């Protein structure tokens, strides 16, 4: 274990109540878990967030570059070694999975042991379900384990519906669509999903089957959890009572498990289901650790633009955003429309830009490698948001009242998009980046007063006083859950 870990562990002699947070090693998973950790700290626990060394180094480096005027971060960050040979965790999905399954458990086990030997007491592990390997570590060490779902609860319900998808012939035992173009309703939702939009349908045939097995393993491991913290809100889905969202807390939902050959035991939504998303969104510009160096110059550029005139474009940080052909098409459409824009586009994907594009549009728009998104979305110059519909981006758009142009790419983004377009009606989907499509999309959302009204109502439902009170109650239930396990607390 490194020097930094030892220094922290030496300080745990005065820290009796430690809660270890284990996120999946991606920006969109670390961010909400850090916010959850900060909320947990207010209840007298010390949150300790585990990240691979390569990510930890980036977080610390960017943290040193930023000016901090507020209190120190109450979340402590401890690195664990990542891929042998120093290749880092920012590799492909399957490289990360291999490290998580084969190497991370021993590192977490050693950290827990050394914390306890140093006088600390690990009272709970909060485990991102995509990092389900840590559930097994907690079980072996007889530590209370709570699950954390960083996305909509509706997407969790989709994964829990896998047995019935197999039984009904919608997908095969290996997770592949049985009939091309087939559709199916989301569990307890009036929405249809295409088989090609299932979250594991990424890459070639072998990749899709392997990703499906990744989710099957998560469902098996999650069956032992007694508590699930969800980064979402009451009123998100129709299976919850919008008038009294607390009625949904603690509901035990038994999903269809007729396909015994696929999943031999019942899949349960954990009996304590707690919605904590409103707590995560209280701060208007909460600073959370970034893996990338943010370009604050884009904020000064926005200061010079007209109110509601700028199209903000970001396709997230995880999967490859859009293809080279799509990048070229979007760039050409932006240039042709003369639409002011702020585009987040990493260096790895800029080779798709038309030759001379950046110079030609220097007076029209701005490209950055990474942006302080919450500050950008708060800016009055931003009129709408062209997004991949990642969950963090979606709820930030609601928080800061920005209408959405949706271009989902992978994973849960298709489901999020369906809620944005068909349920909440606060945006529209674009299917290609031709000039006409972009112009029509921008015109339809920016000039739509009804979308603005729905955005305001949705923000109140998700993040108003009642929502925050409900989330605070949910967190209090979680704290009591820990205290019941450790009576001396």
Three-state secondary structure readout of 469-486: HHHHHHHHHHHHHHHHHC
- The per-residue pLDDT for 7 is 53
Across 11-25, 143-157, 323-337, 470-484, least confident range = 11-25
Contact 36, 10 (CB under 8 A): no
183-185 and 145-149 strand pairing: unpaired
HSE-CB of 458 using CA atoms within 13 angstroms: 26
The total number of residues shown for the chain amounts to 489
Q: CA-to-CA distance for 292 and 370, rounded, in angstroms?
A: 7
Say how far apart CA 330 and CA 353 lie, in whole Å. 9
The token pair at 238 is 């129709």
pLDDT number for residue 258: 35
Cβ atoms within 10 A of the Cβ of 411, count? 25
**Strands, E, within 53-144: which ranges?**
76-80, 122-128
Tell me the C-alpha to C-alpha distance, in Å, between residue 378 and each of 306, 375, 400, 401, 429: 14, 5, 6, 8, 22
User: Strands 192-194, 183-185: parallel, antiparallel or unpaired by DSSP?
Assistant: antiparallel
Mean predicted lDDT score pLDDT of the chain: 83
Residue indicated by tokens 């960050």 = 77
Q: What is the model's pLDDT at position 280?
A: 74
pLDDT digits (tens, 9 = 90+) for 289-302: 777 778 889 999 99
Greater confidence (384 vs 90) lies with: 384
Phi and psi at residue 372, to the nearest 5°: -75, 85
463 confidence band (pLDDT: 50, 70, 90): confident
Please give the residue that has the higher pLDDT: either 321 or 467: 467
CB neighbourhood size of 288 (10 A): 19
pLDDT of 411? 87
Residue ranges with strand state E in 355-412 = 365-368, 382-387, 403-406
**Continuous H helices in 103-186:** 104-117, 133-140, 153-160, 162-167
* Segment (H or E) for 52: strand 46-52
pLDDT of residue 191: 82
How confident is the model over 267-313, as pLDDT tens digits? 445 667 888 888 877 654 456 777 777 888 999 999 999 999 999 99
CA pair distance 151, 162, nearest whole angstrom: 18
Element (H, E) at 205: helix 205-222
Which DSSP letter does residue 249 get?
A: T
> For the domain bounded by 17-286+465-487, which CATH number is listed?
3.40.50.2000
pLDDT band at 144 (very low <50, low <70, confident <90, very high): very high
d(CA 93, CA 4): 28
Q: What is the pTM of this model?
A: 0.87
Residues 6+ apart with CB under 8 A from 46: 12, 15, 17, 18, 19, 74, 76, 120
Report CA-CA distances (Å) from 392 to 8, 11, 107, 270: 30, 33, 29, 23
Q: Which residues contact 210 (CB under 8 A, 6 or more apart)?
A: 94
pLDDT band of 480, cuts 50, 70, 90: very high
Instruction: State the span(s) of the chain assigned CATH 3.40.50.2000.
Output: 17-286+465-487, 296-447
Query: Is residue 163 left, alpha or beta, with left meaning phi > 0 and alpha meaning psi from -120 to 50?
Result: alpha
Report yes or no: 161 and 155 within 8 Å, Cβ to Cβ. no
Given CATH 1.10.10.10, say whether it is the number of domain 296-447: no
Structure tokens given for 438: 């972009």
Q: What is the mean pLDDT of residues 57-76?
A: 69
């Amino acid at each position: 274990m490194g020097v930094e870990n030892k220094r922290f562990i030496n300080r745990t002699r005065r820290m009796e109540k430690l809660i270890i947070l284990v996120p999946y090693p991606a920006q969109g998973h670390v961010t909400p878990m850090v916010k959850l950790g900060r909320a947990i700290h207010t209840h007298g626990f010390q949150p300790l967030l585990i990240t691979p060394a390569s990510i930890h180094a980036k977080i610390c480096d960017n943290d040193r570059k930023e000016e901090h005027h507020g209190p120190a971060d109450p979340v402590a960050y401890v690195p664990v070694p990542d891929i042998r040979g120093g290749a880092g965790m920012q590799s492909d999905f399957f490289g990360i999975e291999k490290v998580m399954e084969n190497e991370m458990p021993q590192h977490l086990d050693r950290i827990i042991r050394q914390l306890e030997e140093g006088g600390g007491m690990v009272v709970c592990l909060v485990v991102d379900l995509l990092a389900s390997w840590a559930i097994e570590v907690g079980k072996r060490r007889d530590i209370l384990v709570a699950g954390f779902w960083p996305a909509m609860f509706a997407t969790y319900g989709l994964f829990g519906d896998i047995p019935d998808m197999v039984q009904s012939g919608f997908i095969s035992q290996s997770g592949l669509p049985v009939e091309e173009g087939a559709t199916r309703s989301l569990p307890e939702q009036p929405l249809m999903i295409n088989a090609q939009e299932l979250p594991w349908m990424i890459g070639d045939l072998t990749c899709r089957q392997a990703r499906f097995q990744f989710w099957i393993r998560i469902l098996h491991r999650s069956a032992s959890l007694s508590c699930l913290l969800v980064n979402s809100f009451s009123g998100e889905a129709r299976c919850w009572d919008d008038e009294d969202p607390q009625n949904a807390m603690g509901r035990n939902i038994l999903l269809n498990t007729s396909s015994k050959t696929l999943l031999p035991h019942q899949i349960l939504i954990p009996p304590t289901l707690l919605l904590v998303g409103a707590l995560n969104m209280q701060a208007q510009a909460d600073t959370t650790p970034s893996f990338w160096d943010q370009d604050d110059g884009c904020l000064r550029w926005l200061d010079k633009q007209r109110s509601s005139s700028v199209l903000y474009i970001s396709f997230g940080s995880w999967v490859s955003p859009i293809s080279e052909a799509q990048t070229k098409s979007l760039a050409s459409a932006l240039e042709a429309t003369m639409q002011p824009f702020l585009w987040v586009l990493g260096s790895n994907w800029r080779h798709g830009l038309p030759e001379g594009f950046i110079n030609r549009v220097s007076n029209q728009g701005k490209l950055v490698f990474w942006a302080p998104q919450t500050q950008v979305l708060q800016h009055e110059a931003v009129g709408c948001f062209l997004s991949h519909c990642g969950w963090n981006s979606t709820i930030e758009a609601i928080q800061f009242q920005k209408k959405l142009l949706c271009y989902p790419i992978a994973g849960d983004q298709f489901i999020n998009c369906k809620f944005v377009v068909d349920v909440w009606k606060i945006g529209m989907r674009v299917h290609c980046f031709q000039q006409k499509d972009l112009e029509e999309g921008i015109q339809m959302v920016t000039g739509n007063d009804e979308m603005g009204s729905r955005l305001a109502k949705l923000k109140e439902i998700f993040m108003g006083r009642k929502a925050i009170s409900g989330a605070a109650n949910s967190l209090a239930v979680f704290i009591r859950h820990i205290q019941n396990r450790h009576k001396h607390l």
